[in-house]
Structure 1
Amino acid sequence: MTHPLAVRAVVPGSGFVAGCVVSTWLDVTPAGPVAWLLLGHPPPRRPGETTGSVEEGLRSIAAVMGLRRVVERVPYVGERLLIRGPITALDYGHPDCLLRLPDPGPRWRAHLTRGGLACITLGLDSMPLGASRDAIDTYIRRSAAAGRALVGATGVRTRW
């Protein structure tokens, strides 16, 4: 059965994901720590890139990883994070490349290496580069309310 979010079979490669906006943070809640990984894309800026092609690439990533709309139950999408030394990467479903994350910090990494999960949130709307924490919160709320945020829970893979 085809994933309802799939729009093409090919997951975008390193050129596309190199342009993605990635943000990580750790929330400390009464229930314990929650690691977050936000993935999005700025407005089109590369030759041949359009709003439609960017969304198509993001939807392909979401489909391959098994992400679902925020209003649905958050699915566990497998162990998609890789942590080795100073490198943290996301297996986003491409057969030949990973998405290297900006350094998420020692507390985020420790939470995951101790068996904690991260919530991947993929936003389909354009996300500004260098957004503040307040701007990111607003972006997530707006995207979730409009059905344009997709989520999944993931953990750390023990093998590359």
Structure 2
Amino acid sequence: MITPIRAVPGPRFTAGCTISTWMHTGERLGMPLGYLLIGYGPPELPNESPDSIEDGLMGMVAAMGMRPVVEQVPECGPRLIMNGPITSFDYGHPEWTLRLPHPGAIWRAHVSAGRPVCVMIGLDPLQTGTSAQCVSAYLERACSKGRVYMGAATLRRF
């Protein structure tokens, strides 16, 4: 089987991405872990379709060497960038990064300390402004269908 080559999308695509960040302090892990979920809502623009959106998201997955959520989480390298109050994410495009809206002080402190963030890309439509419970339900559904890819990213130091 031949794996299709997908382009890494530019800013027109990423402007439509839905982004969620949070911390998990679960006892099973023994330490806090930061999370970053990148998704996309249902098609809204004339040139968007479920297939074109999935191609864009899979271009990001391929560029970062992410793996399905059921596999071992690969290291994706230093992709988180913090410059003053602005936090962005290098998703593999040669020129552009994805700005993360308000990840929160605790999440930023976690990243600043050099701790990893679990990055997930969900292929099923993800609405903007969803609550923590909705994100949790989304992940449960999408993971059970094999529609989430994962990788671990850290802070890029300049």
TM-score bucket of the superposed structures, by smaller chain? over 0.9
Q: How far 1:28 sits from its partner (Å)?
A: 1.3
Counterpart pick for 1:23 among 3, 20, 24 = 20
Question: Distance between the aligned counterparts of 1:115 and 1:129, measured in 2?
Answer: 28
- Cα pair 1:70 1:144 within 8 Å, conserved: yes
| Change beyond 3 A, Cα 1:139–1:5 | farther
Amino acid across the alignment from 1:34: L
Letter in 1 for 2:140: R
Structure 1: stretches of 5+ with no match in the other structure: none
Aligned to 1:96: 95
Deviations 1:33-69 (A, max 9, x none): 1100000000011121101000000001001011100
Specify the alignment match of 1:133 in structure 2: 132
1:58-97 → structure 2 map (5 Å cutoff)? 58-97=57-96
* Letter matched to residue 74 of structure 2: P
User: Quick one: structure 1 residues 128 and 5, their matched pair in 2 at CA, closer, same or farther if it must change by over 3 Å?
Assistant: farther
Aligned residues: 156
Contact conserved, 2:6 with 2:58, CA < 8 A, in 1?
no
Aligned AA for 2:100?
Answer: L
Q: Which amino acid aligns with 1:51?
A: P
The amino acid that maps onto 2:77 is G
Asked if 1:14 corresponds to 2:11, the answer is yes
Letter in 1 for 2:22: W
TM-score where L is the length of structure 1: 0.93
Partner of 2:46: 47
* 1:7–1:56 contact (8 Å) kept in structure 2: no
For residue 153 of structure 1, report the CA deviation from its aligned partner. Answer: 0.5
- Whether the aligned pair in 2 keeps the contact of 1:125 and 1:143 (CA below 8 Å) is yes
Q: CA offset at residue 6 of structure 1?
A: 5.9
**1:7 touches 1:60 (CA, 8 Å); kept in 2?**
no
User: How much does 1:138 deviate?
Assistant: 0.6
> Amino acid of the residue matched to residue 90 of structure 1?
F
Instruction: Identify unmatched segments of 5+ residues in structure 2.
Output: none
The normalised TM-score by structure 2 is 0.95
> What corresponds to 1:38 in structure 2?
37
Give the Å deviation of 1:7.
Answer: 3.5
> Percent identity over the alignment?
43
Give the residue type in structure 1 aligned to 2:20.
S
Aligned letter for 2:8?
V
Q: Deviations over 1:81-117 (max 9, x none)?
A: 0011101000001111100000111110101111111
